[in-house]
Structure 1
Amino acid sequence: MLLAALVALGCHRAQPATTTENVIEPAPADPGPPPAAKPPELVLQTGHAGGVRAAAFSPDGTLVVTTSFDTTAILWDVAIGQILRTFTGHVGTVYAVAFHPDGKRFLTASEDKSAALWDVATGQKLRSFTGHGDAVTAAAFSPDGARIVTASKDKTAALWDVATGQRIRTFIGHANEVYAASFHPGGTQVVTASADKVAILWDVESGQQLRTFTGHTGTIRAAAFNPDGTRIITASEDKTAVLWDAASGQKVRTLVGHTIWLHDAAFSPNGKHIVTASFDRTAVVWDANTGQQLQTLDGHASWVYAAAFSPNGTQVITTSADATAILWDVGTGRAVRTFHGRRDGGLLAAVVGRDGNQIVTAAADRTVTVWDAGTGRLLQTLIGHRDEVNAVSLRPDGKQVVSASLDGSVIVWDVGTGQKVRTLVGHADRTDAVLFINEGRFVFTASLDKTAILWDAETGQRQRTFLGHTRGVTAAALNPADGRQVATASDDATAILWDVNTGQKTRTLAGHGRGVTAVAGQSRRPAGSNRLGGQDGNPLGRNGITTPAFVGHTGEIRAASFTPDGTRVVTASFDGTVRLWDTVTGKELYSLMSFEAKDWFAAEAGKDWLAVTPDGYFQGSPTAEQYLRWRVDDRPGERPRLVGPEQLRETYYRPEVFRRLLGKR
């Protein structure tokens, strides 16, 4: 055996004859110590923070990926309805998703003008497909998984090589935005659908148009082949879906029943059923042969964007603007499971108290929340505004909060009791900024009525009006060095410095190319920290040096504030979280979030709440622990499992961690 091996390796020197009895096999190489087990990874079960745009089943039907306006994709376990992983990387709405035939990868299409290929097991982005001139609205794999087709608002569709990411061909012919693209089961043709009210059949290899499908009177939002490729279904804003003969281009049948736009349509795997999704908040299952309605899937609280059959055809998943996806039983029409999201959690403003011990946030759900920054604990929920709360300020002694809402109201609150102290009335339009100044003796407000007003905080009386901006005033900040100057920012592309005592301008700062949406002042600022800029992207950083990026939010960041010592930044996002960052390194330290309590009496301060670190440490209200799971990957070759807090509490329930991260002892 050894001689044979040597000959095979090209070693031709004469060797003594051997037998299998006297051959000594080499000892196997020492494999070394087993690889270290991965630590459990926290997976928050909070779902999407915006409307859910699309969903796709894995080929084996055990997984679902959903995509959202919140710029993310989420991988769910179908059987238990829990999140396995969140995929971040797009910077715009993710409009579409499709699984690769091997089930190990999936494809997303985004408003950010790109499509992306993702690894299911690791969560890593494998490749980006860039080149479209506008949002990518759809993406699909060829049957063999070697190519993809994308559709775009740039009026084109494109064919790409999966392995290289290179564009192979562009399909040009539509007169308006293209909203759908899908492959023929044989992979030789592609059908596209457009806002020009036309669907087009293309030859994949030549890029030539083969046939045009006309008859819809509104934008066509979806187009798909049946399993044998003989029929095409289209869904339109004209409230109908149309079944077409793929070979002749003739209309076979029109499906009528929805009362508002259709946004999606798909065939079942056996081709016998069609499901349509509509802005009338329903999806409908149809008999493909007769056009009869079989089931109406009614349960969403808002528009239904998409619908897809499971691989075995017995279930349908729908996605909606209500931030949920629902799994339905096709036979009964009943909901089997809801994949929940957060529709009302968006944060619009945040401030840090003078001593760094409190954080106050303002939310789209009409509430103001007071947090203990050292422990992450929710202290108080202030309820009374009738619309989104867009601005907030905390009195230096931490005893009062002033907030402004899109309903036009400005309210002063008592933090201890949660009660209103007074309402400040005087602006002619919405107030976009509020400040306590002079140790809380006065309140400064800035409004879209082009003015700012100084109020007596004790009496609620107007003290002074600041006139000078020519458009709405959108932000305000106090100079902490002297406490006498306030800076205001405006849609007129200027910022103005004012003397609070006299109401006079001391300086006008002009130079931004668009409206200025934020201003900030800070007394102590460590080297390398960030400041804010305007809509035109001009940085207000130090000496033109690029400073750390704070990356982690999955929604638009609406506010940022330094802690008093300048070593931390607090951000508030429309993803529903407040996050604390290290100013120098840009590292996320922890995030805070609150939820509408399912059991109001069991919740603390009227809401459930959580504080979590990137390492998985947490504390929160007892009923909020339902949102916590850790992904444990300790079984080689098998899918990771999810473990709840009841099993890992001893390790990860660490309230003291949060005070240490804030620099407290």
Structure 2
Amino acid sequence: MERDKMIKSLIFMIIFLLIILSSCEKTEEYFPEASPDYVQKAGVDDLFLSDESRIRGGKTEPEIYVQMGHVSGSFSYTNAVQFIGGGKYFLSGNGDGTIKLWNTLSGREIRTFNCEDDVTNLDISKDGRLLVSGDMSDMKNINLWDISSGKKIKFVNSHMDMSCNGYPVLFCNDDRNIISGGSESTLRLWDIESGEMIRDYKAKADSSVNPDVSAIVLTPDGKSVIAGYRYNAQGVESQDFTIRIWNLETGEEIIAFNKANGWVETLGIKPDGKYLISGDWQQDSVRIWDVETGKQMAAYHTGGTSAIDVSAGGRYALLGGCMGFRLIELSTGKNIRTINKGIEGWVRSIKFSPDGKYALVGDDLSKPMLWDLESGSLVTEYGGYANKLETAKLSKTGNIMLTADDYTDAIRIWDYRNGILIKTIARDSSSLMSCATISADGSLMATGGWNGRTSNAIVWDIASSKKIARMELEEESGNHTGFLQITDDNKYLIWATQVKLTISDLRSGKEVAQIADSTHGFRSIFAEPNGNYLLISSYTGGFKMFSVPDGRFIKNISDGKDINYIFGNEYLYEFKSIKNAFGDWQRYLTQYDLKNLEEKSRSKINEFYFNFGIGQSRETLFFCHNFAKDISKYDINKNQVVTAFTGHTRPITNLDLTPDGKFLCSGSIDGTARFWNPETGKEVAQFIAFKGGEWIVITPKGYFNASPNGAKYLNVRVGNQVYSIDNFHEKYFNPAYVASVLQGKRIEATDDIR
């Protein structure tokens, strides 16, 4: 009896398991299609040996550099990915303004190509030696690069509408030309040698809307270009055909179709050139078109599609969408794989590997990803090691530097004289951090943030990492905290949104006074370090003085437009524009004594505009233009820039001077804080913190100090071969040398290779 019960139970369990298994989604078998030139491509490794390394037999001086990857932060989207060298390498273009060349297998970053702005698209020449990229700079540059050396060969000013959100670029005509899409329904053909435009391809029928060209592909025979159109600079969708095929040589439109299905975001074409695949973010379907007739052959319901790639044999397609991507069979629409984990936001770029086994994916994060298409598993991520830097501030005593990441996770406290990270303090988890500052004595810090409902300022004790006080304001139209200053006596915190400035008791957090300009908003704020007065300019012009701590209005200092401040230890510099009798704007630099605010001098200056700066002396100041990567040293007596400090790869966020004036400090969204020699403009050291708590301080010669595992982010390039730091660690790990450089001592280091 007992035995019969056991048998019945066993049979029941087997039936139950069979039912469960039968209800599971069946996974279609996948047969990877390899590209014809996969791996066997002749001389592929030779592509990455520069002429210099060939001449010297590969024996070149080592270059020590930090593997930053694409830095994380707001708008650091991976917009473009492309395999090269039979899949041994790949390139990624990102919203951080860089293109990275990677070793696919080792994950090592081989080279960085620094662009003017967010990278939107890229393409590789047939021989794999040249790279073309498009960026989001004001003039929408088209850049041509030598991949081996990383050098920009030339750039073309595309003269496209500044509001265009990015555009596609492709090599064509056996790499003699570049075709680009852009604003006002127009494609342009460029001559690589001269940089001149040969012709344009304008969709006349849609002139009332003039939508942007969103995607382009070439037919396999290279004779035609197919363009997809979306909406114009005002967001108005095309009311006409959104796919057009053009004769590349004559510029004639061959055929236009897809009028009823809205705008197109992405295109793919089968290797035989017979069928075109289109997709967009809004529609539920990806569509298959007959290239010759423009007839729709099929529509597969896949959700919004933001990126497409077709396999080498034309059997499969990768469809990137929101929070995931699909592998489908094109002839049937069968879903072979769905990856809906590990993807952030929209897939912005996707490519089959040359062997057809993997997918290279870029999404709304800074880390390109490699996925195994047979198993559906993530193989590896590349980069994303560091965040954009929001600020780098120095204390007046104690040799302390504060660095804060862009809207992310941490504030870091450094001993900048010795090149050491002292501690990391996690930001307040209830809100995003928008700014930070440090007290004069280095004992306190303040952070500003917002959570969509309120703006806040928090005061912290650095030694204990504990919060002392928290202040909040109801947020008004996204005006989160953007200015912070602790008075030198540590009594008050001055903090401001765009329209309200608050003076708070630093210990209790109690509001002492408030100054508001809800109509126009503040343009620039200067708080006298000793807490005696405030200077505020608004967008209507004018320069007003208020007392601290009561916020009482004292007087108007001057009138004008575009008023900004630069301050030093003894002098305040006011930059402003004044309209003359002829209606022309002229720019002036006025110098005030910081103690009594008496005007000392005024001079008409050359036509420049700065975003922020700092004064070194009565004769010298440093400033940065809006979104500038370089620092300018300005001689007031000569009325000219005398030195440019170059090295940052992305816009600088702030400047500071060490109390002894020996070093100029800058923070940048390239993820680094840098020290400079203010006399020569030469870089002294970089301070870099990584997400996992590791850090590096490195000199231009490659000598470094680092946390126990920080050196794993260092690469060594000899010629064009890249290695880990392991074989060079003994020579270049030199904390004493790093400290001596940061203390201004003259110590020479040897340059031999061990």
d(CA) in 2 for partners of 1:357, 1:573: 20
Q: Give the superposition deviation at 1:547.
A: 5.0
> Pairwise mapping of residues 23-62 of structure 1 onto structure 2 (< 5 A)?
37-49=59-71, 50-62=76-88
Letter in 1 for 2:125: H
Question: Higher mean Cα deviation, 216-225 or 198-207?
Answer: 216-225
Q: CA RMSD in A?
A: 2.9
d(CA) in 1 for partners of 2:633, 2:677: 19
Structure 2 counterpart of 1:7? none
d(CA) in 2 for partners of 1:500, 1:331: 67
1:662 and 2:742 correspond: yes
Q: Conserved in 1, the CA contact under 8 Å of 2:185 and 2:202?
A: yes
Letter in 2 for 1:51: Y
Name the SS for the 2:167 alignment partner.
strand
CA shift in 2, pair 1:36/1:510, >3 Å: farther
Q: Give the superposition deviation at 1:193.
A: 0.8
1:185 and 2:185 correspond: no
Letter in 2 for 1:388: L
Structure 1 counterpart of 2:242? 198
Q: Give the superposition deviation at 1:521.
A: 4.2
CA shift in 2, pair 1:271/1:495, >3 Å: farther
Question: Higher mean Cα deviation, 397-406 or 524-533?
Answer: 524-533
CA shift in 2, pair 1:80/1:366, >3 Å: closer
Q: Conserved in 2, the CA contact under 8 Å of 1:128 and 1:165?
A: yes
1:616 and 2:643 correspond: no
Question: Higher mean Cα deviation, 63-72 or 77-86?
Answer: 77-86
CA shift in 2, pair 1:244/1:78, >3 Å: same
Q: Give the superposition deviation at 1:58.
A: 1.2
Structure 1 counterpart of 2:468? 421
> Pairwise mapping of residues 227-266 of structure 1 onto structure 2 (< 5 A)?
227-237=271-281, 238-258=283-303, 261-266=304-309
1:531 and 2:623 correspond: yes
CA shift in 2, pair 1:535/1:272, >3 Å: closer
Q: Conserved in 2, the CA contact under 8 Å of 1:55 and 1:318?
A: yes
Name the SS for the 1:431 alignment partner.
coil
Letter in 2 for 1:148: I
Q: Conserved in 1, the CA contact under 8 Å of 2:81 and 2:360?
A: yes
d(CA) in 1 for partners of 2:317, 2:641: 53
Correspondence for 1:574 among 669, 680, 692 = 669
Structure 1 counterpart of 2:235? none
Structure 2 counterpart of 1:314? 357
Q: Conserved in 1, the CA contact under 8 Å of 2:362 and 2:368?
A: yes
CA shift in 2, pair 1:104/1:439, >3 Å: same
Q: Give the superposition deviation at 1:664.
A: 4.3
Name the SS for the 1:660 alignment partner.
helix
CA shift in 2, pair 1:570/1:327, >3 Å: same
How many pairs were matched up? 608
d(CA) in 2 for partners of 1:35, 1:507: 69
1:87 and 2:94 correspond: no
d(CA) in 1 for partners of 2:201, 2:556: 55
Q: Give the superposition deviation at 1:110.
A: 1.3
Q: Give the superposition deviation at 1:509.
A: 4.9
> Between the two proteins, what is the percent identity of the paired residues?
23
Q: Give the superposition deviation at 1:352.
A: 0.9
Name the SS for the 1:137 alignment partner.
coil
Tell me the alpha carbon deviations over residues 566-602 of structure 1, each in whole angstroms, 9 at most, x when there is no partner.
44332222332222233344333222222222xxxxx
Structure 1 counterpart of 2:40? none
1:632 and 2:718 correspond: yes
Structure 2 unaligned runs (5+)?
1-54, 231-237, 571-614, 746-754
> Pairwise mapping of residues 122-161 of structure 1 onto structure 2 (< 5 A)?
122-134=149-161, 135=164, 136-142=166-172, 144-161=174-191
Q: Give the superposition deviation at 1:34.
A: 6.1
Structure 2 counterpart of 1:388? 432
CA shift in 2, pair 1:255/1:493, >3 Å: farther
Name the SS for the 1:596 alignment partner.
coil
Structure 2 counterpart of 1:13? none
Correspondence for 2:389 among 344, 347, 353 = 347
CA shift in 2, pair 1:390/1:555, >3 Å: same
Letter in 2 for 1:267: V
Name the SS for the 1:622 alignment partner.
coil
What TM-score results when the alignment is normalised by the length of structure 2? 0.75
d(CA) in 2 for partners of 1:103, 1:124: 15
CA shift in 2, pair 1:223/1:591, >3 Å: same
CA shift in 2, pair 1:428/1:117, >3 Å: closer
Q: Conserved in 1, the CA contact under 8 Å of 2:624 and 2:652?
A: no
d(CA) in 2 for partners of 1:311, 1:536: 39
d(CA) in 2 for partners of 1:216, 1:119: 43
d(CA) in 2 for partners of 1:72, 1:132: 21
Q: Give the superposition deviation at 1:171.
A: 1.0
Q: Give the superposition deviation at 1:316.
A: 1.9
Structure 1 unaligned runs (5+)?
1-32, 598-606, 634-639
Q: Give the superposition deviation at 1:126.
A: 0.8
d(CA) in 1 for partners of 2:650, 2:457: 26
d(CA) in 1 for partners of 2:56, 2:346: 51
Q: Give the superposition deviation at 1:427.
A: 7.2
d(CA) in 2 for partners of 1:479, 1:331: 64
Correspondence for 1:561 among 656, 661, 666 = 656
Correspondence for 1:443 among 476, 493, 503 = 493
Structure 1 counterpart of 2:148? 121
Name the SS for the 1:650 alignment partner.
helix
Structure 2 counterpart of 1:641? 721
d(CA) in 2 for partners of 1:67, 1:447: 34
Q: Give the superposition deviation at 1:614.
A: 3.1
1:403 and 2:429 correspond: no
Correspondence for 1:290 among 321, 332, 337 = 332
What TM-score results when the alignment is normalised by the length of structure 1? 0.84
Q: Give the superposition deviation at 1:410.
A: 1.4
CA shift in 2, pair 1:532/1:308, >3 Å: closer
Name the SS for the 1:285 alignment partner.
strand
Name the SS for the 2:194 alignment partner.
coil
d(CA) in 1 for partners of 2:565, 2:724: 41
d(CA) in 1 for partners of 2:104, 2:179: 27
Q: Give the superposition deviation at 1:205.
A: 1.1
Name the SS for the 2:348 alignment partner.
strand
Tell me the alpha carbon deviations over residues 15-72 of structure 1, each in whole angstroms, 9 at most, x when there is no partner.
xxxxxxxxxxxxxxxxxx9689432223422311222111011152221000000011
Tell me the alpha carbon deviations over residues 215-273 of structure 1, each in whole angstroms, 9 at most, x when there is no partner.
56343112233212212121212233211111111111223223xx3211121122221
> Pairwise mapping of residues 92-111 of structure 1 onto structure 2 (< 5 A)?
92-111=117-136
1:276 and 2:319 correspond: yes
Structure 1 counterpart of 2:685? 590
